[in-house]
Every structure is written in structure tokens, then in C-alpha cells.
A = this chain, B = another copy of it.
């Protein structure tokens, strides 16, 4: 029997850190915060949680794909935001979906939406449930009689492979590992590895404009998407499968980032890569973070397109376990299925040296041991939050993008806001770290981590104080409220400041046409009815 998904944390029952494995981390945090240790609140059991009985029952035709099983309803109540994790620990599952549906095909999806519209129920698309922005939590306001979480996990097949064009038609509910398993025999890969890879889906990546493995060029899922198919309450959308087009505004780009508010993405033709056989990697140290920034800018503007160009500041190095934090580290990597990468790497290293970069270790493959350590921590990162939250350690992230000309001031203002808010919220200094997850010729996507010692019972309020301060600082300095985590419900106040009133009106017009009853993921992108 397959292990079930946890309703209290990342992944499946049995996965993640043990209390024993947490001990070195606890010791580290305890030393920094000057405390003796941490008491972990226990995770909830299913019996400890009370949820209301479902407010509706499916029609007979849809009964086979719907369930009101309590565990399933709990699994589909939350994504993985900090607030949600705190509510998990508080055993507060108010807002649990009344039913969980698991459509087998597009006909089921259409029937479910028809029924939801008729029944006055909100329809909440659910991929892997990895949203950290409240994108899958059925907090839909008072305008609906019920909420149905529509889990796309049963639609998980690669339906067609086009080897010549390196593309595949793929059902939206497929998880990362299962997708790669299906592509591997063809020598192909999507080469898209967000941190949520194990527990997120193609449809979720597209709906949220996620970003994956590559640090340059192939960043967002947008550019890997050849065409999108979606079921809306008004009918099925499909677009021609094309390598490029200039026929009106791109229909795919309307669904990319639609976050379930216009319909449910059911399948897509995706652009793939040959599996890389050539690799070159280095970890380059910079005494000063801002020198590393200049090196990264030079590489990003050189037309070299490294697969990895991940600059970690001193705190990020220290707190990700990649090194001791005495220097900033640039994880630099090239890969290709076609050719050796000597010329590419040689020029990129020149750019590093021009700005004071040092190569402490010469290693091929993944870019040296600092890079390897960083990657290991990254991959297990999904499991860390539930352990830290249980210990009242606030370790959270926020991410954005900004042009190079403003980065210096931006970094100072945003990091400064985070530091001040952390101290105000927790009564003691916290830690703020920064790395670049993605880099463009015209600017980086900085990703911030903040760490503070919270207090049980006040965690959400403490987190809010920091999150609100940094979000205000980001918007005031002209950054985006999200580079790849999406808007969800949590980012709405800042998204509304970022988005023009005119674009909001256009989106309302489009939604009114596609979702006239307003049942699709209400409260996301636009206010719930």
C-alpha cells in the first residue's frame, strides 16, 4: 500500500527529518539565538482535528471521482505556506474542502465544473499542493455554498512524444519524478526542477508561472510551454502547437499564471531537452557579495547562458550548509547534450576573476563540494519547515526580481526592512540571507531567507510583521511581489499595487467571459464574488 500524503507537512508519511536528525540543526539555532534548546510541538493526529461535515454531496454520475474521506479533506485543506503550517500545528483546519474530486479525464473535469457552477460551489484546482502563497486553500469568502478541491493527480500520463521537435503532450496532473520517468526512455527531459519537484505538477507549474532548475534562459515554465489545453466553465480551450507565432496576443500566456482562476489546465505540449552528457561546474568565492553581483551581471550579459549561476551571500552560504560563511559563493555550471563546454566555462571564469572571484576548489560535475552541499540542503528543504515551525523557529523565504541598476539600493532596503521587522517581531536580531535563484541579462531574481526565534501562539503575527514589511519594501522599490512563487491569496494586496487598474479590468473581463459564475479558485488574482 502506498504511503499517504501527510496533511501536516511536506511529502508522504514516513518522509522527512527525524527528531534525531534535527539535533545538529537545533544546536546550531540554539547557539545563534542564545537559548538552551527547543521544545517541539507534536504534529496533529487525524483524530485531534475537527472539521465540519461536507455541505454537499456529488451527483451519482460524479460520485466515483469524489470523496469526503477526512484524511483526504485534510490533505487538501492547505498548501505549504507559513501561515498554513501554523494552522496545522494549531489543529485549525477550518476551510477544509467539503469534497475532494479526482477527475480521470477531461470529461470528468468539465462535469465537475458544471456541477460546481450549478451547486454554487467554489472549485479549487489542486496539483501537488505545494503552494506557499495560499493558492489551494479554499478560503473563498461567504459567497459559496461549499468548496470542492479538484486534485488532478489521476491525469498523469505523457500522451505523445515528438522526438524530432523534442516535445511531448503531457497531462497536467503529473508530478515531477513521474514525468521524468516517462521521458527518460526517450532520452528526453523537461529539465525543470523547482524545489517542490517531488510534490508539484505540470499543471501547477504552468498555472503559477513557476521557475525551475536553470538559472538563465530556461527559467520560467512559460518558455517551455508550446501549447496549453484547459477546461473552463465556458468550455474547452486549446491552442495550436507552435514553435513561435505572432497571431494576436498569445493565448498560452493568458493561462500561464492564471492560478486556477480561469479554468483548469488539463494538458500541455511541452518543449523538452536532450539529456545532458557534458557538464562543467565551479564554485567561485567572492570576499564581497557585491563583487559577486558584478561578476554575475557580466556573465548574464555575455550570452553564455549557464545552467547554474546561483550567487549565495555569506549568510546564505552559512545557513544553507554550503560553507562557513566567510565568503559569498557563486555556483556556476554549464551543461549540454551537444558539445564540450570549455570555451563557455573559460569565459565565465574570466568574468569572475575580473571581479575578484577565487576558485577555492577545482572540481568538475556539480560545481565542487560547496555546490553539492548546497544542493543537498535545497532538495531536503521542503521537509525542514514543518520541523522548524514545530520548534517556533521562523525560517521563511521571499523572492522577487529587479533590474540591475536598482539592485544595490533594492537589496539594502529590502534586507534592511527584513532585519528591522525581524527584530521588532521577535525581540532579538534575526538572520537575513540572499541568493540569486535566476539571473537575466537585465536583472537578477533575488531570493531572501529570514530566520528568527518565534514564540508559540504568536508565530503567525510575528511572521506577518516581517512579511508585510518586506512586501511593502519590495513594491515600493519597484520589484515584483513574486518571481516564481505566484500570487495566491497571500500576495493579493501587493499584487494589486503592482498590477495596473487597466490590466485588472482586462482580467476581470476575461474571467467574466470564461467563468461567469466566478467559481474558479475565488479570491485568487481577483477578489472573490
Q: Which residues of A contact B (CB under 8 A)?
A: 162-167, 208-211, 217, 219-220, 222, 226, 230, 232, 234-251, 253-259, 262-263, 271, 274, 297, 301-305, 336-339, 342-344, 347, 401-405, 438, 440-445, 478-487, 491, 495, 498-503, 505-514, 525
Contact = CB atoms under 8 A, between A and B. Distances in A.
Given A259-B248, A343-B342, A243 B499 contact: no
Contact of A249 (B211, B442, B507): B507
A220 B502 CA distance: 25
Number of copies: 2
A250 to B, nearest CB: 6
Contacts of A482: 245-247
Q: What are the 4 A-B residue pairs with the smallest beta carbon separation, nearest first? A: A243-B443, A509-B509, A509-B513, A343-B343
Contacts of A238: 500
A156 B509 CA distance: 32
Nearest to A344: B343
A248 B243 contact: no
Given A242-B479, A244-B440, A246-B483, A234 B502 contact: yes
Chain A, interface SS category: loop
A514 B502 contact: yes
B236 A502 contact: yes
A254 B249 contact: yes
23 contacts: A164-B297, A164-B403, A164-B404, A165-B403, A165-B404, A165-B405, A220-B244, A240-B478, A242-B401, A242-B403, A242-B479, A243-B441, A243-B443, A245-B482, A247-B499, A248-B495, A248-B525, A250-B257, A254-B254, A254-B503, A302-B338, A339-B347, A509-B514
B503 A239 contact: yes
Q: Which of A249, A304, A403, A445 has most chain B Cβ within 10 Å?
A: A249
A505 B513 contact: yes
Contacts of A217: 217
B243 A401 contact: yes
Contacts of A244: 211, 219-220, 401, 438, 440, 443, 445, 480, 483
A403 B162 contact: yes
B445 A208 contact: no
Q: Which of A164, A234, A235 has most chain B Cβ within 10 Å?
A: A164
B246 A484 contact: yes
